Amino acid sequence: MCTLIAEVIMLIGGLYALIAGKLKLTKNLRLEGWRARVAGLILASPMPLAFVIGALLGVLVGTGVLPEEVVDYAGFVDIALVLLALVAVVIFGYAVRPKPAPAEPELPADLS
């Protein structure tokens, strides 16, 4: 249940980043433009992926390809998806953050 809440919050935040093109990851890290949209796509991905993996597990268990005990591990896959997306979006954010413009060097005072 907690992972579902986390997935819904991440989905909403990811959709906001996709639409608005702005995302604040940490106090000092803000992404805008394409960077925010890619980060939003990463944030929004755990819920659809969990749905697809769950449906695939259901089909494979239903047809007898996998034993029913595999379903017990679906919660761990769900937690792993959430944690992986959170770590991936922070690493992506720090990797593509805009670099501050170098300060212009001060000219020496006129000595004449």
What pLDDT, on the 0 to 100 scale, is given for residue 71?
A: 84
Dist CA 98 CA 32 (whole Å):
9
Dist CA 43 CA 14 (whole Å):
5
pLDDT digits (tens, 9 = 90+) for 15-61: 999 999 999 988 888 899 999 999 999 999 999 999 999 899 999 99
Q: What does the H/E/C string look like for 30-84?
A: EEECHHHHHHHHHHHCHHHHHHHHHHHHHHHHHCCCCCHHHHHHHHHHHHHHHHH
Token couple for 92: 């992506």
Check: pTM over 0.85? Answer yes or no. no
* pLDDT band per the 50, 70, 90 thresholds, residue 66: confident
